[in-house]
Structure 1
C-alpha cells in the first residue's frame, strides 16, 4: 500500500493514539499543517478506501483504527525507496544513511550490534 506524505502524517497519529475520532485528528493536525476539516476528512475516507484504516460509527462520531501495521508500511515504503533511488541495492542506501544521518551513541551501538550479528551469521553459514 502506497501512502502519500500527508497520509503518513495521518497514519502516524492514528498508530500512536488509536482508536482516534475524526475530531481528534482534525484538532491534532489541522492547524499545524494548514489543512481544513474537509481535507482531513477526505484523507481519512481515502485511507479507509485503501484499506489502511478501519472505521466505526459510534453515535454521531467516527472512530478510526489502523487496519495495517506500521512495520508493514515502513517495510514497503523502504523497499520502494531503495528500489527507486538505489536500484534495489540496500548496501549503498545503508551507507548513505549512516554517513549523512545524525546517530546517537545508543543508535550507533545498536547498529554495531546488528552488523556484528550479521557478520557472525555469515561466518556460521560458511562453516
Structure 2
C-alpha cells in the first residue's frame, strides 16, 4: 500500500466511519476546522482511488466511495513504520521514550501494565 498524506488520512477516516458515501457526503463530513473546498476533497478522493486505497462505483450521475483498506490494517502498518523508522524496530524503545519525556500519564502507564498483565507478559 502506498503512503498516504495527512490530508488523505482525514478523508479516509470519514469513509472508515461510514460508507459508501458520495463525494458531497464526504465533503460535508470532513471536520469544519479543515476549511477545505469541495474541490479539495474531491481531489483527495481521486488520489486515494488512484492509490487503490479507496474504490468508487457509479451510482447514477455520481460515484459512491468506500475504503479498500481497513482502519486496523492501516494503523498496524503505520505503527510498524514508526517503530521501525524511529526506534530500531523495538516497541519498548517507543514506550521508554514516552515515559522519559513524561508523555504518559499515570493512568496510561496503569493501562499499559494492565494490558501486559492480561497478555500474560
> TM-score scaled to structure 2, two decimals?
0.82
Which residue matches 2:41? 40
Pick the structure with more helix per residue.
Answer: 1
CA RMSD of aligned residues (A): 2.2
Structure 2 residue matching 1:35: 3-state secondary structure: coil
Q: Deviations over 1:67-104 (max 9, x none)?
A: 1111111111111111222122210112334541357x
**Which has more radius of gyration?**
1
Which residue matches 2:68? 67
Q: Is 1:30–1:37's contact at 8 Å kept on the other side of the alignment?
A: no
The unaligned stretches of length 5 or more in structure 1 are 122-127
Which residue matches 1:101? 104
Partners of 2:95 and 2:55 in 1: how far apart?
34
> TM-score scaled to structure 1, two decimals?
0.79
The unaligned stretches of length 5 or more in structure 2 are none
Which residue matches 2:80? 79
Partners of 1:101 and 1:110 in 2: how far apart?
10
- For the structure 1 residues 114 and 44, does the alpha-carbon distance in structure 2 shift closer, same or farther, using more than 3 Å as the test? same
Aligned length: 118
